[in-house]
Structure 1
Amino acid sequence: MDTIAIIGAGPAGIMAALTAKTKDNRVILIEKNKVIGQKLSITGSGRCNITNLDNKEDFFAKIPENSKFFYSAFAKFSNYDFIDYLENIGIPLKYEDQKAYPKNESAQKAVNTFIKLLEEKNVEIRLNEELMDFEIDNKSNIVTSITTTKTKEHIDKLIITTGGLSYCKNNTFSLLSKKGIQITQLYPSLVSIETIYDYSDLSGISIKNVSVSANIDGKRYLTSGDMLFTQKGLSGPAIMDMSSYIVKFQDLKTDTSSNHKNLTYKGKI
């Protein structure tokens, strides 16, 4: 019987565990926090905007970089497949414009449904436990064991689902680098923007249906939607969409001799 360890119990880790678990294997879902699905439980201000009704073309058009990376995954399991899946596991949906929410508008109840499924499938859920190291067999290039803050044990497969740089509070990327695993240039996405101007006096004020544009290196980026002023800058759907386009310029320094000075920012990591 193979043992599969999954590190990170967010939406990706939960789905990986539910997909991987069969009667012929053992699946361990390891989460450093005290609960699973922590970020899922607060999505949509607690209402859980869990997916959308965009068609394939619209879906890929909204991915700023390397949308082809998602082609094969989307072909096997699209947003409409996910909607069917949610309905079948007991999360009926309602729709507002193109957004899909659970009918009960409770992100936490959606998380509870997933927890129940994991328990029914006999997935081992380990909380307050963090991956510290893993060993790779030099000949087969296969992971053979993991070391966590609580134990060390043999495994046959390792799946890491600890998220990207938007909310990175783990050692995953440094650990992978130490193992010689190549990592491409990474940027946070769908994040708030810290501006060089002080908007703190307007913090908490939101504006609906705004257009946001940025001109960088002769190229214009445009998004629209709601916007929110924060203590350190700007947030809201229009701003988060814009961050996906301009985040790769986050290292630009304020330069009074160029047009970049008003675009200098850093995404929250």
Structure 2
Amino acid sequence: MKRYDVIVIGSGAAGMIAAIKAAREKKRVLLLEKLSKLGSKLKATGGGRCNLTNTLGNEDFMAKFGRNGRFMQDALNLFGHKELIEFFNDIGVKTHAPDGFRVFPVGHDSQTVLFALQNELEHLHVEVRTSQKVIEILSEDLQIKGVKSRSDIYFSPNVIIATGGLGYPVLGAEGDGYALASSLGHKTTELYPAMMPLTTKEKWTNNCRADTLAKVELRVDLKKYKNLKALGDLIFTKNGIRGPVVLDFAREITPILSKLGEVPIVANFTKGMNEDEILRHFKNESVKDPDSTIEQNLLSILPSSVIHELCRLADVDPSMRFNKTEGKNRARLIKILAATPLTVNGHEGFKTAMITRGGISLKEIDPRTMQSRLVKGLYFCGEVIDIDGPCGGYNLQWSFSSGYLAGSLLS
């Protein structure tokens, strides 16, 4: 009979570090992965650059996760960004923060992270079995007994579910963990795709695909959701928008989109300039060169392709001088420059979603240990839990922190 102290299901960031921590605590550990290789999603993280974490303090870090952020306190106190950086340094992965905020492996190659974690698993004699899809968690009298895969049964009083969410099904995401947890009485909140490009009803974005805009602010143009906004770089696509600001914004948009079908938003492409500041900019440019056109006035702020599209929306000729343009048209242009209207009407779902919004209910998990409040010996970590954050190393840090805490088996 195959008996272990701990069985970890899933070999993402959370699962591998949970297995490593448990093995360091002198536990006999089995790591099960349904794919043929470990860490497929970790390898693809951040376009392969692997933004491991960031330098925010724990309080500010938790605030970025919204109302569920406080749940993370114990995990972060045990294993925050400083401890994570030290951990990787100890297993041979040097890190740096080139912008003073986001932390990457030196070389910006996720393969170095994956190799180091695999080497540590081997060094600690963690038994790793791939191509092992777990189909059932065995329990008796609300106590974990082991797991059943398609080909075998493994026994253990402790099982850690680290199966991730539904994002990137091509990398193995099928929501296995939700079904396994449900079979033991756990509830899963509604699940939404997050961190992916958005499509818009407006098609003029197709004419701006050559340009990337920095410091774009997006916000929902609905009274009920007026506080939902994001700031960052934006890239235009054939059918809409993408880029870091869109990835962050998408996690706020998808639940609303599922209810309403489409969501009106406004974008500020002028690096946060308001209407008064835009008007002053036109006046200052006109003083510098009285014969300058609207397009020439705006080239220091926006690319030509975007200028032409926004002028078209305002029914303004970009080759005209600003002070020679009809007053109502000038006012409309300034309003559009400060708050460009767009209508989000879709996305590609979990196919391109980097993370999942929603997951195993936090009410049923003890944040001090990551153990189930319903079944003794059942633990959760990473994306399978109802916690998700923005771009910038937040979600990977949470995976590592929660996995480390779960692997500590502090109950």
Q: Give me the whole-angstrom Cα distance separating, in 2, the residues matched to 1:181 and 1:91.
A: 37
Instruction: Quote the residue 2:185 is aligned against.
Output: 180
Structure 1 stretch displaced more, 180-189 or 146-155: 180-189
Larger helix percent: 2
Residues 21-51 of structure 1: CA distance to partner in whole angstroms, max 9, x if unpaired?
1474321111112211112212232222111
Instruction: Quote the residue 1:11 is aligned against.
Output: 13
Matched, 1:243 2:246: no
* Cα distance change of structure 1 residues 56 and 154 upon mapping to structure 2, 3 Å threshold: closer
- How do 1:1-269 and structure 2 match up within 5 A? 2-22=4-24, 24-97=26-99, 98-137=101-140, 139=141, 141-167=142-168, 168-197=173-202, 201=206, 205=210, 207-209=212-214, 210-216=216-222, 217-230=224-237, 233-254=240-261, 262-266=343-347, 268-269=349-350
Structure 1 stretch displaced more, 222-231 or 236-245: 222-231
Q: Give me the whole-angstrom Cα distance separating, in 2, the residues matched to 1:263 and 1:181.
A: 34
Kindly state the Cα deviation for residue 88 of structure 1 after the two structures are TM-superposed. Answer: 1.7
* Cα distance change of structure 1 residues 88 and 22 upon mapping to structure 2, 3 Å threshold: closer
Instruction: Quote the residue 2:405 is aligned against.
Output: none
Q: Give me the whole-angstrom Cα distance separating, in 1, the residues matched to 2:14 and 2:4.
A: 21
Q: Give me the whole-angstrom Cα distance separating, in 1, the residues matched to 2:70 and 2:51.
A: 24
Kindly state the Cα deviation for residue 203 of structure 1 after the two structures are TM-superposed. Answer: 9.5
Q: Verify the 8 A CA contact 1:193 1:235 in the aligned structure 2.
A: yes
Q: Give me the whole-angstrom Cα distance separating, in 2, the residues matched to 1:229 and 1:199.
A: 9
Count of paired positions: 265
* Cα distance change of structure 1 residues 42 and 3 upon mapping to structure 2, 3 Å threshold: same
Q: Verify the 8 A CA contact 1:2 1:24 in the aligned structure 2.
A: no
Q: Verify the 8 A CA contact 1:6 1:29 in the aligned structure 2.
A: yes
TM-score (norm 1): 0.86
Q: Give me the whole-angstrom Cα distance separating, in 2, the residues matched to 1:58 and 1:127.
A: 38
Q: Verify the 8 A CA contact 2:4 2:155 in the aligned structure 1.
A: no
Instruction: Quote the residue 2:270 is aligned against.
Output: none
Q: Verify the 8 A CA contact 1:136 1:143 in the aligned structure 2.
A: yes
Kindly state the Cα deviation for residue 116 of structure 1 after the two structures are TM-superposed. Answer: 0.3
Kindly state the Cα deviation for residue 183 of structure 1 after the two structures are TM-superposed. Answer: 2.5
Kindly state the Cα deviation for residue 171 of structure 1 after the two structures are TM-superposed. Answer: 2.7
TM-score (norm 2): 0.58
* Cα distance change of structure 1 residues 202 and 14 upon mapping to structure 2, 3 Å threshold: farther
Segments of structure 1 that go 5 or more residues without pairing to the other structure are none
Q: Give me the whole-angstrom Cα distance separating, in 1, the residues matched to 2:35 and 2:98.
A: 32
- Other structure's SS at 1:179 match: coil
Structure 1 stretch displaced more, 191-200 or 145-154: 191-200
Q: Verify the 8 A CA contact 1:189 1:240 in the aligned structure 2.
A: yes
Between structure 1 and structure 2, the one with the greater Rg is 2
Kindly state the Cα deviation for residue 81 of structure 1 after the two structures are TM-superposed. Answer: 1.4
Q: Give me the whole-angstrom Cα distance separating, in 2, the residues matched to 1:125 and 1:231.
A: 44
Residues 129-188 of structure 1: CA distance to partner in whole angstroms, max 9, x if unpaired?
211112210x2x112121112212222211110112434424321232233222334434
- Other structure's SS at 2:75 match: helix
- Other structure's SS at 1:59 match: helix
Q: Give me the whole-angstrom Cα distance separating, in 2, the residues matched to 1:259 and 1:170.
A: 31
Q: Give me the whole-angstrom Cα distance separating, in 2, the residues matched to 1:45 and 1:154.
A: 37
Q: Higher RCO, 1 or 2 (CA under 8 Å, sep at least 6)?
A: 2
Residues 172-225 of structure 1: CA distance to partner in whole angstroms, max 9, x if unpaired?
212322332223344344333344555784696562312222233252322111
Segments of structure 2 that go 5 or more residues without pairing to the other structure are 266-341, 351-411
- Other structure's SS at 2:122 match: helix
Q: Give me the whole-angstrom Cα distance separating, in 1, the residues matched to 2:209 and 2:122.
A: 40
Structure 1 stretch displaced more, 158-167 or 211-220: 211-220
Letter in 2 for 1:32: K
State the identity %.
26
Q: Give me the whole-angstrom Cα distance separating, in 2, the residues matched to 1:16 and 1:203.
A: 45
